[in-house]
Structure formats: structure tokens, C-alpha cells
Structure 1
Amino acid sequence: MPVTTTTKAPVTVNNTATNKNTVRMWTLVSLIIGSTVGAGIFALPQQAASVAAPGAMLIGWGIAGIGMLSIAFVFQALAVRKPHLDSGVYSYVRAGLGDFVGFASAWGYWLGSVIAQVGYATLFFSTLGHYIPLFSSENRLASAIAVSILTWVIFFMLTRGVKQAAAMNMVTTVAKLLPIFAFLILVAFLGFSWDKFTFDIWGRSGSSGSVMEQIKGMMLFTVWAFIGVEGASVYSKQARTRKDVGRATIIGFFSVLALLVSVTTLSFGVLTQEELTALGDNSLGGVLEAVVGPWGGALISLGLCISVLGAYISWQMLCAEPITLMAIDGLLPARFGKFNKNGAPFSAQLISTAVIQACVIVFFLNETTYTSMVQLATMMYMLPYVFSSLYLLLLTTRGKGMTHPHAGTRFDDSGPAVTPQENRKHLFIAIIAFIYSLWLFYAADVTYLLFGTLLILPGLIPYISQRIKNGDKWFNTFEWVIVAAVVIGACFAAYGLSTGALEL
């Protein structure tokens, strides 16, 4: 899972500029900020207010800060211990827990990416709907058709080898950061009220539930906001020194954390929790509009549209990456990983685009909201996070992962030795990250957990067929347990859908 494989604006890095030991610390910092701060921040005020009052919101950010920093350091530690694993973060999961768990993580991350793509397109057109009545919330069909057309146009562009230029990245990064900084300055000096922020700081008069319930509600939104924080670790091999990676991770992480906390905190000082909850998907624009008038909302909307549209092309291109990697690594049929004469992974892009189209139809028929798409996508992203944390925990306690069928290959437990002091540090990081990951699953709405298993289930078909073709054992004992859990969860989800007990 490279840094570009995130739900934020992916960062395109010129290969000629990232030769070994040439990436400077501040370049790594920019990778973290660029890949983490994306369109999701524009929806944060409404998302936070929908589940938590100001006090619980701040506690939620504190827990997320500790947890997500530990996850970022998990990937950094694994990059140090397993520098030969270069098929993205999913390769850590495969090396440590076997083929199927690695496959499920990559498959889940791919589907999360697809859902996120639809979510961002929905956010883009709902923002346009404030200015172009054709795309208003009352005319969802027009938005669904527009998303479909945009998706297929981009697909045909990508099959011709068209990629996002570095200039596009620069424009979209500036376009999203300038309105955010304008928001922070204007709201802090013109609109923030301490009395309003503290009026019902624990949400006792609202319907958000207990403080613990509010904190749990914040969890998935905070993960969504932080996806991509492992950016510096991905490029650790090209960094001038390993110390630069650690420093960049800390600087980039706390810069992003400060930005996210500032946005949500200031918003609660402008509008009440109920007023924030009632805002649309571009709630950042709604808050600024309440402070300075319509031009503030228009400014944020413009930044959001440019940011999302600029990232859409790169993100659709990168949706194909997990499929391509799994095909190259033999977990999916080789034809899924083939490139056309223009150097584009045609089959993987076609599959991804077709699934995006199917999601557009399903989400349109079910009137699925952007918030629901975020929560479902985040649940799928959590798979490589929790299993990577478990792998590091196994490495630090028993020196190896689970038994792997391909011992002696690059997926075995080889790697440079670490000192006892380093191992203790990695153990501490792994424990915190693993506990935090489990807490996120506990805090999640069970609906999204069940739908997540339902989305993984179809992947068993190409996976098992490829195992049969290769003459490999389907699953080991540990994997059978995981498969059983997936099937049981999928059955509950299917039953819930058929009876109407579950819906997105």
C-alpha cells in the first residue's frame, strides 16, 4: 500500500527524484501532509457533530492521536525489519499471517478504495448542487449519471497511459490548503465563541448518548482523517537516514493532528452541535459562511471541488494497484496484472471501474449518504492496519509470523537483525497499535462490520480458483478460522439486507 494508495489526494512522486538515499526529511513530511489532508477535512465539522459534543470530540482526537501514531510507527518498524517486502503494506500481512489474510487485506483495501472513490464523487457533486440545481440533493439521479460518465471517461483516459502530472498535484494541494488556512484564521478571529463551545461541552442535553458512546462514534471518522499517515515509512528505503523517517513521521503527524483538531474545535465555537449536524457534506464551507457570509462558503466549495476533482483521476488509477499487485504475486489470475501497450494495467482498471459503477448504482438505489460510505470504506481500510500490527507483535515476541506456505521466498521471515532495545521499542509500539485497532472494531457500528464481511466474501471465488490452478492448499488452520468468521458475518449481513433489518 504505497502512500499514493489513500483516500486523500494521492501524491505522485517522480521516480528519478527518489533514488536511494536522496529523499530529504521535509520531502517526507510533505508526503505525509499531502496524502493525509484531503477532501475528508471539508466534511469533518458535520461528521464530528453528528456523533459527539466538544468534550468527547477532543478526547476522541486524543485517543486517535496516540493510536494512529502507533500505527504509523508499525509500518516504519516493519520497513526497517523487512526491507525486501515491497508489494505495499499488504505484503507485510501476507508474510506474517499467510496468503489468505494477505489477500483479504488487499481485497478489502481495494474495495475500500472503490467505495471512497464513489464517496468523493458524491461529495463533489453535492457541493456543486449548492450552485447548480441540476445536482441538488433532490436530484440524486443526475449526480449518479454524472459520476458514472466521469468514471468511464477517466477510465478511457487511463487506458491510454494518461497520468496526473506533478503540476496537477501542486495545484490541488494549494487549492485545498489555502481555503483551510483561510478558514482557521477567519473563524479564530471573527467567529469563535468560547461560551458557545463550552455551553454543552459533554452533550448532556442532546441525543448523542453517554460520553463513552460519543467517543466510540468519533473513532471511524478520526481514522478516515488519518489514512495516509504512514507515508514517510513507505519511502524509508529512499530516505537519507532512518532518523529522517522517524522525525518526518512525528512532524508530519502532529502537523496533521493540529490541523484536524483546530478545524473541528473552531467549528464547535461557531455553531451548536445541532446546527453543525444539520449542515451538508461540505460542512467546512457552511461554518465559514456563518461567519463571513456566502462568499466564505463559496471559497471553501471552490477549494473542495478543485481538490476532489484533481485527486479523482489519480485515485481511480491507483484503485487498480491492489489488483495488479495481487496478480503479480500469484494471488489472482496473472491476466489481471497485465499491462497494455501504453503501460496501463488495463484489466485491473477495467475491473475497478466496473465495480465503481456497480457501487454507484447500489448506493443510488439505497440513497446511501457520504457519511455511510466513509464508515464502510474505513472499515475495509482497517484490515491491513490490524493485521500489520499483529505481525509486528509476533515478530517481537516469537521472532516470526505464522507458518507460511512459501518459506524460502521473499515472503519468509528473513531480514536484518535488530538490537534488544529496538525490539522492546517495537513491541511497545505493536501492543498499542494492536489494542487501538481492536478498539476501532469494537467502536464501529456492527452494520459496517457485517457489510465488510459481505464485501470480502466474493473474493473467495477468484482466490480459491487460483489456488486450485497453482496446486496450492486452500487454507491453513488459522486461515480457516478467518474464513469461517467472514462467511458467518456475510450470512448475517445477507439476512439483514433481505429482511430490511440492515441498511446503509
Structure 2
Amino acid sequence: MSTRTVSVWTLVSLIIGSTIGSGIFALPQNIGSVASPGAMLTGWAIAGVGMLSVAFVFQILAVRKPHLDSGVYSYVRAGLGDFIGFTSGWGYWLGSVMAQVGYATLFFSTLGYYVPAFSNRWVLAIAVSAMSWLIFWGLTRGLRQAAVMNVVTTVAKLVPILAFIVLVAFLGFSWDRFTTDFWGDGSIPFGTQLKGIMLYTVWVFIGIEGASVYSKQARERSDVGKATIIGFLSVLGLLVAVSTLSYGVLSQEELAALPDNSMGAVLEAVVGPWGGVLVSIGLCLSVLGAYVSWQMLCAEPIVLMARDGLLPKRLSTTKNAQLLSTIVIQLFVVLFFVSEASYNGMVQLATIMYLLPYIFSSIYLVLIARDNHVHLVVGLIASVYSLWLIYAADPVYVLLGALAVLPGVVPYVWTRRANNEKVFNTFEWFIVAIVVVGAVVAVVGLANGSLVLE
């Protein structure tokens, strides 16, 4: 792809392709488990404003700071220092690793509907582990996701999604069913429903920050902003349509009881078994393609941080970083399956980790945008929204997120000492203290059973 040759519509397709992943296939059950139709629509309205502001934060920073090209963590490092930058990059990497486990779990649990052997948790764990190591083996021997695979996976996920929307809208949607208990039955407060939906709305938008990656290839810089809006609204339209139509087919209680591939189950309720098969095929092809892509890409933050001197130099090679990522994927497979964590639990913990660069990058934009009121407002909205997401999250996942961050401090400190650099400044010591306290509370909670990963 040569410099400055990418058109607006190519940018739009790249944004849609990188954002629409496995999350939308599980969306009916995810949303139905926590929110009524009214809370769902309100949640999407908040998420629409908030996530668009986050997308624009990265697009604005890409234009204002074109020399910062070491991934999303580079903005945080530039604005808030090495350790906060490292924490952001480490969190983004761990989010990607956890997402891999979630993708594979969704893939095999969908197969389990047709192949009963995969319904056994330990068979599922072995299958997820085997696929991760098989892909790593392929990557070490030059496996690359070919352009034809990108096309196949993009078509595989968009065709069943569009078919779902059309078929459900014309054959299965009932306005009466949709409006029954529109605000819930009163047993769960509206605010609680709204908080419950928030992390799921972020999960299905993960990747929207990737729009900034393409800014250097755009024919015109203004095209990136246009493509971000068009691509974002297209993705939002698909997500809202799938969520809304599902409530017109099944009640909230019925949606909450569906399996992980809940989009397939909703379509099956409308047109019969072939609808579930159609969505399942699309989901499996889409997730398989995403799994290869993300296992290639999730090593990138480690490589970049090692090259920038924040991690040991030996991790600056792609092979070593991919090996570390695969080992940690295996570790999380064991942890998640031993603790009997659900797909929903994996998603929420991964989302907490992704929020770190979102929060810190937004704060960085606020710090440098005093000369541009529009940029300042975007940064403030994104900062408030991202921080509110942490507040809205189940404290279990926040504490477990602190526990996941803590091991990264060890190689960071070792590297700083090896390079004869100051380890922490006063502000960084304060952040370290918060992380340590959160991790200790998490360990104690896990030990006495007061904290449980759902």
C-alpha cells in the first residue's frame, strides 16, 4: 500500500473490518443479561458519543503528533511518562491476549452446539490451547494472513449479520414484544442496568482506535476524519440493529439464557435451524480469521516497548514476543477454565485492560489541546467517558485488572535498573501503590471466595 493512496471508502472498509469481530455474534445474550430495551437504547446513545470521542482522540493525536508511531501506548508515554506509558501498553497487550482466549472459547463453544465433545470444558480448554500453539507454530514458519483470507472473513461476518437484520426485521420482529417491560420489571434499577451494559458496548468497539493507523496513507488528512465518522456510524448502526431486533423476537429473560452464539439462536427462533447454521458458519470463519490476525498483532506492543527500552531487549524480536504472548494465552486458558470463567467474564476483564490506553491517551490530549477548543472538548468527553466506564465496571474486574498489571512491573523495573535509569518518580510511585493495593485485595478476595470471575 503506497503512501497517501488510500481513499475515503477504503478507509471506511478498513475501520469496519477491524472493528466488527466476534462480539456482535454474542451481543443479544450479553445485552439481554443486564439491560431492558430502554436501558439498551440509552446505553448505545452514551456509547455512541463516548466511543466516537475516543476514536477521534487517536485520530487527532495521529495528526498532531505524527512522530509518535509506536502504537497507541506511545501517546501515553509522551504525555505521562515511561511507567504510565508502559502500564498502558502492558494493559493493551494483556487485553489482546485475554481476547484471544475469548475468541477461541466462542469458536469452539459454537462448534460444541454441533459437535457435543466441545461442550466439555476440559476438551474445550485443550482445543483452545492446541489452536493457540498451532497458530504460533505456523507464525514461526512464515504464516501470514493472506489478502484472500481477509476478504473471506470480512464477507463471512457481514453476510450473516446483514441476513440476520433483514430476516428478523421482516419475519420475526414484534413491536408488542419489544415494548413489553421496555424499562424492565423494576427489580433492577435503571442505573444498574445502564452500568451493566457499558463494558459490552466498549468490547464490540475495540479496534475503532485503529483508524488513526491509516492516517499516513490517506489521500487527504481530512479523509481520516470523514472515514472515522462514516465507519463508526456504520458499525454503530449494525450493533444497535442487532440489539434492538433481538428484543423484538425474544424476551429479555430468554435472551439472557441463550448460548454464547446468541445471534444464531435468535435467527434460529425466527427461521429455523438453518438460520443458526448460517450465523455459526459466519462466526467460526470470522473468529478464526480474527484469531490469526490478533495472534500476529498482539505481540506488537511487547516488541515496541522492548525497542523503546521499557522491556528486556530480547523481547524486541517478533518471534520472542509471539512466544511470550502464546505462553500467557496458555496461562489464561488454565486460569479461566479452572475458575470456570464464562465468555462474558473474559470479555469484561479484557475490556478493563483495553481501557487503560483509552483513559491515558484522552488525558494526554486534554493536556496538549489548550490551543484548540474542539480538540479540548473531544479529549474531555473521552476522558470523562473512559473514567466513568471504570466506575461502571464490576469492581471484581477492576481489582483483577490490577492483579494482571502487577507482574509487568517486574520486567519493567529489571530493565530500568539494567539501563541505569531511575525506576519511578513520585507520581509513578503513587500509581504503583494503587496497583499493589488493588492486586492484594484481589488475591485476598480470590483466596476467601469473595471475588469470583463470572
The TM-score normalised by the length of structure 2 is 0.99
CA root-mean-square deviation: 0.9
Post-superposition Cα deviations, 1:296-336, rounded to whole Å, max 9, x if no partner, equal 11111111011111221121111211111111111011111
Counterpart Cα distance in 2 of 1:240 and 1:482: 41
Determine the C-alpha separation between the residues in 2 that align with 1:146 and 1:229.
Answer: 30
Specify the alignment match of 1:58 in structure 2: 41
For residues 168 and 337 of structure 1, the distance between their equivalents in structure 2, rounded to whole angstroms, comes to 28
Pick the aligned partner of 2:137 from 144, 147, 156.
156
1:318-467 correspondence runs (5 A): 318-338=297-317, 345-397=318-370, 420=371, 423-467=372-416
SS at 1:472 equivalent: coil
Q: Which residue of 1 aligns with 2:443?
A: 494
CA distance in 2, matches of 1:41, 1:260: 7
Q: Could you tell me whether the CA contact under 8 Å between 1:28 and 1:231 is conserved in 2?
A: no
8 A Cα contact 1:106 1:384, kept in partner: yes
Partners in 2 of 1:325 and 1:391 — Cα distance? 20
Shift of 1:276: 0.3
User: How many pairs are equivalent?
Assistant: 453
Amino acid at match of 1:332: L
AA aligned to 1:80 is: V
Paired letter, 2:230: I
1:89-104 superposed matches below 5 A = 89-104=72-87
Equivalent position of 1:485 in the other structure:
434
Letter in 2 for 1:477: T
Which residue in the other structure is 1:145 paired with?
A: 126
Following superposition, the deviation at residue 77 of structure 1 comes to 1.0
- Residue in 2 that maps onto 1:412: none
State the Cα deviation string for residues 58-91 of structure 1 (Å, max 9, x = none). 0000000000000111111111110000001100
- State the shift of 1:396 in Å: 1.8
Does residue 251 in structure 1 map to residue 252 in structure 2? no
Identity fraction in percent: 69
Q: C-alpha distance in 1, partners of 2:224/2:164?
A: 31
Q: Matches of 2:145 and 2:369 in 1, distance apart?
A: 40
Query: Is residue 2:174 matched to residue 1:225?
Result: no
Identify the structure with the greater helix proportion: 2
User: 2:272 is aligned with what amino acid?
Assistant: G
- The yes-or-no answer on 1:34 pairing with 2:13 is no
Alpha-carbon shift at residue 428 of structure 1 (Å): 0.8
User: In 2, are the aligned partners of 1:270 and 1:287 still within 8 Å (CA)?
Assistant: yes
Runs ≥4 residues deviating over 2 A: none
Shift of 1:231: 2.6
Shift of 1:232: 2.2
Is structure 2 residue 51 aligned with structure 1 residue 68? yes
Distance 1:101 1:28 in 2: 31
Check conservation: 1:230, 1:249, Cα contact below 8 A.
Answer: no
CA distance in 1, matches of 2:210, 2:409: 30
1:230 is displaced (CA, Å) by: 2.2
Which residue of structure 1 aligns with residue 164 of structure 2? 183
Which of 311, 323, 334 is 2:290 aligned to?
A: 311
Extract unaligned runs of 5+ from structure 2: none
Distance in 1, Cα, partners of 2:232 & 2:210: 10
In the TM superposition, what is the alpha-carbon distance from 1:150 to its structure 2 partner? 1.1
- 1:240 counterpart = 2:209: no
> Unpaired runs of 5+ in structure 1?
1-16, 339-344, 398-419
DSSP 3-state at the match of 1:230:
helix
Take 2:74 and 2:210, find their aligned partners in 1: how far apart are those partners?
A: 16
Which residue among 29, 44, 53 is the counterpart of 1:46?
A: 29
Question: What TM-score do you get using the length of structure 1 for normalisation?
Answer: 0.89
Give 2:449's aligned amino acid: G
Map of 1:81 onto structure 2: 64
In terms of mean alpha carbon deviation, does 446-455 or 354-363 score higher?
354-363
Deviations 1:116-167 (A, max 9, x none): 000010000100011001111xx11111111111111111111112111010
Q: Distance in 1 between matches of 2:449 and 2:194?
A: 28
* CA displacement at 1:480 relative to structure 2: 1.3
Q: Secondary structure at the match of 1:387?
A: helix
